[in-house]
Amino acid sequence: MTKQIGHFIDGQQVAGTSGRTADVYNPATGEVQAEVALASQSELDKAVAIAKAAQPQWAATNPQKRARVFMNFVQLLHRDMDKLAEALSREHGKTLPDAKGDVIRGLEVAEFCIGTPHMMKGEFSEGAGPGIDMYSMPQALGVVAGITPFNFPAMIPMWKFCPAIASGNSFILKPSERDPSVPIMLAELMIEAGLPKGILNVVNGDKETVDGILDHQDIEAVGFVGSTPIAEYIYTRGCANGKRVQCFGGAKNHMIIMPDADLDQVADALIGAGYGAAGERCMAISVAVPVGEETANRLIDKLTPRVEALKIAPYSSGDDADFGPLVTKEALQRVKNYVDAGVEAGADLIVDGREFSMQGYENGFFMGACLFDNVTKDMSIYREEIFGPVLSVFRAKTYEEGLDLAMSHEYGNGVSIYTRDGDAARDFASRINIGMVGVNVPIPVPLAYYTFGGWKRSGFGDLNQHGADAFKFYTRTKTVTSRWPSGIKDGAEFSIPTMN
């Protein structure tokens, strides 16, 4: 019998009642391994009502007690690391080391939330005016929601619900229906860590559920990570309904390679950043931009044998695989279509992974690594996010051309420069109009106490994920101006109050 995955509501797993389901595949075999329930509006309404009823008491719990839940949660994540990674790999296809990295980058945000008492401190001004004190109080919004993608089924849910819950909110998580098991496992661990029932609820679903969240009058804020078209849709609809919304979309991340760079280091960086997780990362480097023909020729010579030697295997084969399958058959075909389009547009396909087949896993969603050279700005493989194991090389004549290339692209998620020249690196970091910048770092994902967010069409909303911005997003500030009777003059005052 096929495994049935329902929802997590009011502290426990519950079966779906809508009658609608979606298949959950094993990407390595191509077989359906489970069915996940897709929530109806009534199921979502029930979860929100439970979250709304539970939230006031949780918000009234002092921040230090809330922080202790995250202290416990971090320990439980360490305890169950192997179990979580195996479940993640089985549904997503990632290698086990990559799956553990997924969990750990979420765990680091949970660690940051142990500092909730500090993050929830307001400000105080004694004697702001004659006999007047003034202070501010950050307070929770109420019920908030997160809509998270398939490619990081542990990390991004934790990026969303950890600071939201630490701030005193209750949370509705709508994870991807492609790999729904780990989010439910995380919710169970939060209950074990001491979180009251009803504060974290996982509602599986599809677009119908997403629209229900965006239109629900009792949900105050929504966070999203996914493709840019959907990010823009969620941002527009959520804002139209008066919600606070932050959405992070697609990317086309460039690596500028200066002539003085260590090309062995560059090749290593590009292999990991371009092909790790089969390229299914919003921070993947998908465009290498060597400056000068000599740099480009040397880079291609170093990259080609390394790309050809990449080991592709299912997660169950051990820890030495470089990457595994794509998440679905549709994702595999989409990436192949992009490679076809690149060839038709005139790019040079140096390494062709389209016909890769894994012995014993012929029905799995595997694809070999692809490497393009002589890519130009008008090609779809340059303009659009492929989200697969495809690296494009764009030859820039000068540093300024490479800089302009990244700056003029519609996406502004991440970018990197490799150089030994401090002046070039400093100029690049100062001028580039992209949210996350790496200097001799291929994937510049900030640590949990900084914030994560792209610019241009990679991000919608004015606050980023994790770090201090997360606590700002999930709270609103109340400012109190206080004066006691001994400082109050007799008589009415008709002019606007000032500090004179």
* Token pair recorded at residue 195: 């979180």
d(CA 140, CA 63): 11
CA angle 118, 484, 141 (to 5 degrees): 35
Q: Hey, which residues does 288 pair with through a beta bridge?
A: 255, 393
3 state SS of 246: strand
* Token pair recorded at residue 397: 């004549």
3 state SS of 261: coil
Q: Give the end-to-end CA distance of the chain in Å, rounded to a whole number.
A: 77
Name every residue whose Cβ is closer than 8 Å to that of residue 372 and which is 6 or more positions away in sequence. 342, 347, 348, 349, 350, 381, 390, 391, 392, 393
Token pair 């150089």 is found at 419
d(CA 60, CA 275): 46
Do residues 110 and 73 lie in contact, with contact meaning Cβ atoms separated by under 8 Å? yes
Q: List residues with catalytic annotation.
A: 282
Number of H helices, E strands in the chain: 16, 23
d(CA 407, CA 73): 41
Q: How many CB atoms lie within 10 A of CB 363?
A: 14
Do residues 459 and 223 lie in contact, with contact meaning Cβ atoms separated by under 8 Å? no
Q: Is the dihedral of CA 63, 64, 65, 71 positive or negative?
A: positive
3 state SS of 375: coil
3 state SS of 3: strand
